[in-house]
Chains A and B, each alone.
Chain A
Amino acid sequence: MSQIKFTKDHEWIRVEGDTGVVGITDYAQHALGDIVFVELPEVGREITQGNEAAVVESVKAASEVYAPVDGEVTGFNEALVDEPAQVNADAEGSGWFFKVRIANPAQLDGLMDKAAYQTYLEGLA
């Protein structure tokens, strides 16, 4: 059974054992508009919660994607390199960005679950 957590910066992380799959939320892809480029972290890179881990660019602007937890990058979504629009089409599924080996599972407790994220979004409206 996997669990999905969300950040205030609109990343999601799906926890599968000691690994997390990370992407941006549907709300984020919608706010960004047509995505034309993603820059993904190389395998082996150590990322730190709250720091830049990837970049996503729409026609208009570049935005940073922050690491939801500390850890080591174990893979990234190669399909996005040639088809960044996949993020618009399925942000919380096939539009995932990278995988991370979670160094400190306790950090997950500080993130929002789906219901809390929904409430957070309603507060932004």
Chain B
Amino acid sequence: MSDPTETLAITPLNALHRELGGKLVPFAGYEMPVQYPAGILKEHTHTRTRAGLFDVSHMGQVRLRGPGVAAALEALVPGDIQGIGLGRIRYTLFLNAKGGILDDLMVTNAGDHLFLVVNAGCKHADIAHLRRELPPSITVDYLEDRALLALQGPAAAAVLARFIPMAANMPFMSYAEAEFLGIPVLLTRSGYTGEDGYEISVSNDQAESLARRLLAEPEVEPIGLGARDSLRLEAGLSLYGHEIDETTTPVEANLVWTLGKRRRAEGGFPGYDIIRNQLDTGVSRRRVGIRPEGKAPARDGTEIIEGSGRKIGIITSGGFGPTVNGPVAMGYVETAFAPPGTLIALLIRGKAHPARVVGLPFVKQNYYRG
């Protein structure tokens, strides 16, 4: 539980959230809107059918600059950072010496520097980690003066193109510096909903006017963190502290695709020996998608059992999927139970409920590939 006496940080959009009737809750040390008056179900569906605007200014934006910065960052992550093309983005992971995941992050090759976006709850540890582990010739700038908005949904491109025409043609996982009605923005075509969309980095003092301008477009509604969570769950995307943490490796977490081919062969990142061994000989558990066969949602922490009642895993995220129109979950199961279609059971309030392992995502991803 959160301590009511702790001081919560606020984002530059805090006053706007209040004006819009947002229900503000503590999240990762910030006071953030979990929902607006429309409610999570409507906000979720609106994002899947039109466009939703999210305040994700609590996330950490970091600039890395210096000679050989891409090679230097590769010492901390398993992704092919040197191979990121100019103006392109890659999803990668900070790893510890055991191959456990310290955080997941986006890395952009912005030409003369790398632009990183890291999780709110991990950002201070990440920045300390970068400052400690990178050579002194690399500068680590925490961009505290910048807000981050996400515009997500099938109408996002049409909306943004009214202000930034080139935005419509940006491929998924690309980056551009642009101007929105004279406001300088850093634009990425990326997101955390499974839908097409953008993240827009803007200076704190111009964030509210940009947000108001986007909300004035007929397709756009404000969306809270509640729908952000149900959207990413249906999209099969991991949440730090749930599907991934210091005790899970990229192999167990089904994130082998983030390991660059060259990096897999050459190593040179934390936990390489353990991860190489897991790639060669397998792992004892895997992250999977789970569909309960009944209507009861299975929440984070729900035990997964097999027919005999033996525990074979645990749910890491679960709830009601508004687009699926039923319960959906992700979790870890023993590898033997990981193939899609495997019948398992979930122990909800002491009762076994049948469920099946399924492939991810639950809802088809709708990214713009150009």
Chain A residues engaging chain B, CB cutoff 8 angstroms = 33-34, 36-37, 39, 55, 57-62, 81
Contact = CB atoms under 8 A, between A and B. Distances in A.
B41 A37 contact: no
Interface in B224-247: 226, 229-230
A114 to B, nearest CB: 26
B322 A59 contact: yes
A39 B319 contact: no
Contacts of A62: 297, 299
Contacts of A36: 41, 297, 320
Nearest to B296: A37
A33 B35 contact: yes
B261 interface: no
Contact of B349 (A33, A55, A60): A55
Given A55-B349, A59-B320, A37 B40 contact: no
Interface in B267-314: 295-297, 299
Interface of B: 34-35, 39-42, 44, 226, 229-230, 295-297, 299, 319-320, 322, 327, 349
B320 A37 contact: yes
Nearest to A61: B299
A59 B34 CA distance: 11
Contacts of A33: 35, 39-40, 226
B296 A39 contact: yes
Does more than half of chain B's interface fall in helix, strand or loop, or is it mixed? mixed
Given A36-B320, A37-B320, A59 B41 contact: yes
B362 to A, nearest CB: 15
Nearest to B295: A37
Q: Which of A33, A55, A60, A81 has the most CB of B within 10 A?
A: A60
B319 A59 contact: yes
A34 B39 contact: yes
A62 B295 CA distance: 13
21 contacts: A33-B39, A33-B40, A34-B40, A34-B41, A34-B42, A36-B41, A36-B297, A36-B320, A37-B296, A37-B297, A37-B320, A39-B349, A57-B296, A57-B297, A57-B320, A59-B44, A59-B319, A59-B320, A60-B229, A60-B319, A62-B297
A60 B226 CA distance: 7
B168 to A, nearest CB: 32
Contact of A59 (B230, B295, B296, B349): B230
